[in-house]
Amino acid sequence: MQVAAVSGDARRALEICRRAAELADYRAKKLLPIPNSAAGGKMLVRMADVEAAIQEMFQAPHIQVMRSSSKLSKIFLAAMVYEGHKTGMSETTLDKLAVTVSCLCTSNGEKFPGWDMLLKVGCKLGECRILLCEPGVKHKLQKLQLNFPSDDVSFALKDSKELPWLAKYL
């Protein structure tokens, strides 16, 4: 199914299908405004409806924020996705994430930004509600979690022109 191939997630595929059905229903009502018409309210969902639903989904504000974020923020988010795939856990600590960011940076010719900068980036992503951050002043042991599915992060960052190597970690 094309929807599952684009989204990579069964729930997301169902959400896209639901939205495509809504778009088809809207199209049917727009074309046939008279109740009890010959079509009897039975309108098929077309591929154009599915494509419109996919476009709509991936034009979401959080995806736009991720695409327009700083280089370091993109590395931070890619490290979150990579860490999640590696451990199978959606939650990690800043300490573990810093190690992953360091590995990603050194493996790809980027300079590791340091703890202070990494903490600032995490706070900024938390302010934007891209990340969920545990409140408090634990710093290195602070728990972090993506506020959106990792598929959204992957979709937003996979074609990054300034960091083409990110795609292999998403």
Is the entire prediction scored with pTM above 0.85? no
Residue ranges and CATH numbers for the domains of the chain are 2-57 (no CATH), 65-169 (1.10.10.10)
Please report which confidence band the pLDDT of residue 158 belongs to, taking 50, 70 and 90 as the band edges: confident
Please report which confidence band the pLDDT of residue 43 belongs to, taking 50, 70 and 90 as the band edges: confident
Q: Cβ(114)–Cβ(94) under 8 Å?
A: no
The residues near 122 (Cβ < 8 Å, ≥ 6 apart) are 76, 94, 97, 131, 133, 142, 144
3, pLDDT greater than 80: no
